Structure 1
């Protein structure tokens, strides 16, 4: 897992879901429901301005009593979110997300959004890594050439 890069090892061929800062919370909620996703990047052109997640909508809109039809995303987004570059490792993303309690992390190059990694994406990497480790250990312990009866020729 240490050598797996965010792009292309963890995510590849990703279609970014972005909205401008002046789009409404309702626009974001509708788009997220259509695409079955939990976060939207807020961009001007390709320049990353922020991120809005389901959690943001719950805490910053619904709990605050704001109107989804008139509240712009710029009022509730996490502005200037932390990002990692595509060459960052899956482990670096997992560490950053764990330290700051993120479930989604934008991937950017020079301020331009190029992707987003989720905790679910990283879970898949960790699971694959653990399965590979288990297979390798089983092969070592029970595979040919490693028994107590093996002789050195």
Structure 2
């Protein structure tokens, strides 16, 4: 059984669809993004264009490294200057194990989930993926135990 990110994972984290996804425009100041991230308790924001489609992603790490550690003024630095443009994305139907591979190989902590039209529907963290993969593995073990003990055929040990 391969768990899908949506609806299993995303719905549990974002029961109202868009839930805790924080989307901001590229002309938003870094300080404003940091405040929005704090207020919504997220570690990454999706940067969207005029058509509301994903154009980039900015994480807490980006703010730390590309603004604060570089001694740039967070009031003057725009997200479009520090974002990772055209980020790797996940699709609603992607399996958690596949998402884990993408995140591991790309060394990503957060990935946006976009629909077929490029609109952001969720922001997934590596923590979410680990939880989903853990559930997937537990279910695999349970099914194998049932098979080995014969429970799946009505036999009792």
TM-score band (shorter)? Answer: 0.7 to 0.9
Greater share of helix? 2
TM-score by length of 1: 0.83
Q: What do the CA deviations read for 1:26-57 (whole angstroms, capped 9, x no partner)? A: 11110111111100000124211100001111
Indicate the larger mover: 102-111 or 133-142.
133-142
The one-character-per-residue Cα deviations of 1:57-106 (angstroms, maximum 9, x if unpaired) are 11111111111111100110101111122122212211111001001111
Task: Please name the residue that 1:74 is paired with.
Answer: 80
Mapped pair 1:21 → 2:35: no
Larger Rg computed on CA atoms: 1
Aligned positions of 1:101-116 closer than 5 A: 101-108=107-114, 109-116=116-123
Kindly state the Cα deviation for residue 131 of structure 1 after the two structures are TM-superposed.
2.9
Deviation at 1:124, TM superposition (A): 1.2
How many pairs does the alignment contain? Answer: 146
Cα separation, partners in 2 of 1:130 and 1:92, compared to 1, 3 Å: closer
Between the aligned partners of 2:119 and 2:95, the Cα distance in structure 1 is 19
Contact 1:140 1:146 in 2 (8 A): no
1: distance between equivalents of 2:8 and 2:111?
A: 16
Q: Which residue of 2 aligns with 1:32?
A: 37
1:83 and 1:105 in contact (8 A); partners too = yes
Gaps of 5+ in 2: 12-16
CA RMSD of aligned residues (A): 2.1
